[in-house]
Amino acid sequence: MDPLEALVAQIQGLSSTPGDIARLHVILKQADDSLRSESTRLSSVLAQLAPSEHSLGFLYVLDAFTSGQISKQQAETTVPIITGFINACNAEQIRLAPEKFVLVCKRLKDQVMMLEAPIRSVGPLFTAARKLQLSTEHLTPLHSDFLLLCLLAKCYKTGLSILEDGIFEVDQPRDLFLYCYYGGMICIGLKRFQKALDLLHNVVTAPMSSLNAIAVEAYKKYILVSLIHHGQWQISTSLPKYASSVAQRSLKNFCQHYIELANSYGTEKIAELEAYVQTNTEKFENDNNLGLVKQVVLSMYKRNIQRLTQTYLTLSLQDIANTVQLNSPKEAEMHVLQMIQDGEIYATINQRDGMVRFLEDPEQYKTCEMIEHIDSSIQRIMALSRKLSAMDEQISCDQLYLSKVGRERQRYDFDDFDVPTKFNI
């Protein structure tokens, strides 16, 4: 019998119970090379297999099928096959061969990039990531690819939905870096600056033994978002102590222009800031950060106007324009209007007198929604606390940790804490 036919029969036969699937897995691993050699016949094989029941087999065949060079026309046909498979496949089966699954998905990504239609794979990769995850806190290599495609396809909201899950389990640090970096960019696109700051902060302060390019780029964006959101950025307080020493020493050497931009921002002179941006436009453009830099300049106006709300009850538009160094009352009016719409200040504009009246924050913290909000926050934090204690307990029981601590601990007393020898490596 044709080995391929035999394989197909086995796949079809052994895909029902977990025991069978385990045996199938072994068989498939052995048959991997032979599959690759028969790539031309594989499309017909694929037609015989059902993705939802024979997921594991389908996966192996698909992997062999897509492993060669694929031209654009071929991509047209393979993309639907892969997307169909992802949507239909069985999660437990593919978790037995995660690397292959990841490989297939990566090829999908390459193909849609070749076809210049990244949006075609946004949905499928979303499903794929969810299926591959062991839990919602688990980061897979697919997450970063998914986010990259969201960025390219400009589907920011879909990307945001996966970012809402907190990530705690990570297999590969590199995945984390890319995930946080792309995630940060998506949040910037949606103007969720606080969340972007958190994600970028994770990249910059992650433990790393040597500097990598992702961290450098993330640091540049971190500086800019920090300026936009907080209105200040001090180099002395920028990196907390728990950031790796490599990061603390060398990151700033690569981001000289941004640090100077932050210093110029700190002087609160808009003219200087704009001049600096003008002279260094190309450098910012090369890093693809020019848009963000322009937002930084805009945020300076906003911050100045916000400061005015602290000292004045009413102020004429002309005075606002003068204090904030804008060119005309019309511009001041536009800025104030934009800020009111964005909810950054509370004010009313009296166009007849050309006056702006600043109001207090109307939030009284008395409504039911607010109570619910506070209550849910408390619940969330309590859950987080529990998680923290659980992790603490887990580490104290961890073998490696105990052995390291046991080795380094002094023996004060003869019969004090005798560490069992089996923990000494």
Partner 1 sequence: MDADDDSSNPMIDEIYANGDAAEGGGGEKRSRRLIISGDQFDIEAYASLYSGRTKIARLLFIADQCGDDNSAMQLEALRMAFDEIKKGENSQLFREVVNKIGGRLGLDYTMDVAWCEAVDRRAEQKKEKLDNELNAYRTNLIKESIRMGYNDFGDFYYAHGQLGEAFKSYVRTRDYCTTSKHIIHMCMSAILVSIEMGQFTHVTSYVSKAEQTHEALDQITIAKLRCAAGLAKLVSKKYKLAARKFLETAPELGSQYNEVIAPQDIATYGGLCALATFDRTELKTKVIDNINFRNFLELVPEVRELINDFYSSHYASCLEYLANLKANLLLDIHLHDHVETLYDQIRHKALIQYTLPFVSVDLQMMASAFKTTISELEKELVALITDNQIQARIDSHNKILYARHADQRNATFQRVLETGRGFDRDVRSMLLRTNLIKHDYNARSLSRKL
**Pairing outcome for strands 138-139 and 169-170:** parallel
Looking at the chain, how many residues does it have? 425
| Contact string (CB under 8 A) for partner 1, positions 343-362, x = contact | ----------x-x--x-xx-
Site membership for partner 1, residue 412 (CB under 8 A): no
Nearer Cβ to partner 1 (120/335): 335
Q: Please say whether the beta carbons of 349 and 356 come within 8 A.
A: yes
Nearer Cβ to partner 1 (23/230): 230
Site membership for partner 1, residue 226 (CB under 8 A): no
How many whole angstroms separate alpha carbon 226 and alpha carbon 196? 9
| Contact string (CB under 8 A) for partner 1, positions 230-269, x = contact | ------------x---------------------------
**Nearest distance in Å: CB 404, partner 1:** 9
Q: Please say whether the beta carbons of 356 and 314 come within 8 A.
A: yes
Per CB under 8 A, the list member of 235, 334, 395, 405 interacting with partner 1 is 395
Instruction: Give the CA distances from residue 411 to residues 74, 120, 402, 406, in Å, rounded to whole numbers and listed in that order.
Output: 70, 64, 15, 10
CA 155, 156, 157, 161: dihedral to nearest 10 degrees?
110
Stretch binding partner 1 (CB under 8 A), from 74-82, 273-281, 326-334, 393-401: 393-401
Q: What would the two tokens of residue 174 be?
A: 């590199």
283 burial type by CB count under 10 A (0-12 exposed, 13-18 middle, 19+ buried): middle
Site membership for partner 1, residue 388 (CB under 8 A): yes
How many whole angstroms separate alpha carbon 195 and alpha carbon 184? 7
Residue 247: name the closest of 202, 199, 221, 211 by CA.
211
Site membership for partner 1, residue 425 (CB under 8 A): yes
Q: Please say whether the beta carbons of 184 and 196 come within 8 A.
A: yes
Q: What would the two tokens of residue 332 be?
A: 């001041």
Site membership for partner 1, residue 378 (CB under 8 A): yes
Rounded to a whole number of angstroms, the CA Rg of the chain reads 28
Site membership for partner 1, residue 387 (CB under 8 A): yes
Footprint (CB under 8 A) of partner 1, residues 183-212: 198, 201-202, 205-207
**Nearest distance in Å: CB 188, partner 1:** 17
Nearer Cβ to partner 1 (23/380): 380
Residue ranges in contact with partner 1 by CB under 8 A:
166-171, 173, 176, 198, 201-202, 205-207, 242, 307, 310-316, 319, 353, 355, 358, 360-361, 363-365, 373-374, 377-378, 380-381, 384-385, 387-388, 391, 395, 398, 400, 425
